[in-house]
Amino acid sequence: MPLWILSILLHAYVGTRIVPALPGGLWPALAFAAVLVVSAAAMPMSLLARRLRTQPWSDRLAWAGALAMGLFSSLFVLTLLRDAVLLLAWIAEALVSGAALPELAPLSAAAVVLLGAAVTVVGFFNARRTAAVVAIDIPITDLPAALHGFTIAQISDIHVGPTIKRAYMHRIVEAVNRLGADMVAVTGDLVDGSVRELAAHVAPLASLSSRHGTFFVTGNHEYYSGAQAWVVELRRLGVQVLMNEHVVLRHDEARLLVAGVTDYGAHHFDEAHRSDPQRSLHGAPADAALVKVLLAHQPRSATAASAAGFDLQLSGHTHGGQFLPWNLFVRFQQPFTAGLNRLQQLWVYTSRGTGYWGPPKRFGAPSEITHLRLVAAPG
* pLDDT value for 276: 97
Answer whether residue 258 shows pLDDT above 90: yes
Q: At residue 308, does pLDDT exceed 90?
A: yes
Q: Which CATH architecture has domain 131-376?
A: 4-Layer Sandwich (3.60)
Binned at pLDDT 50, 70 and 90, residue 98 comes out as low
The pLDDT, as a whole number, for residue 289 is: 76
In percent, the amount of the chain with pLDDT more than 70 equals 97
Q: Which whole number is the average pLDDT over 126-154?
A: 97
> Please, which pLDDT band fits residue 99 given cuts at 50, 70 and 90?
low
- How large is the average pLDDT for residues 67-79? 96
Least confident interval from 207-211, 240-244, 289-293: 289-293
C-alpha span between 316 and 219 (Å, rounded):
9
**pLDDT above 90 for 49:** no
pLDDT of residue 327: 81
Distance, C-alpha 311 to centroid of its chain: 24
The yes-or-no verdict on residue 288 having pLDDT over 80 is no
Whole-number Å distance between alpha carbons of 309 and 246 = 14
Say what the pLDDT of residue 97 is: 63
Domain with CATH 3.60.21.10 in the chain: 131-376
| pLDDT tens-digit map of 316-370 | 999 999 998 888 888 888 999 999 999 999 999 999 999 999 999 999 999 999 9
Say if residue 17's pLDDT is above 80: yes
Average pLDDT, the chain: 93
Whether the predicted pLDDT of 92 surpasses 90: no
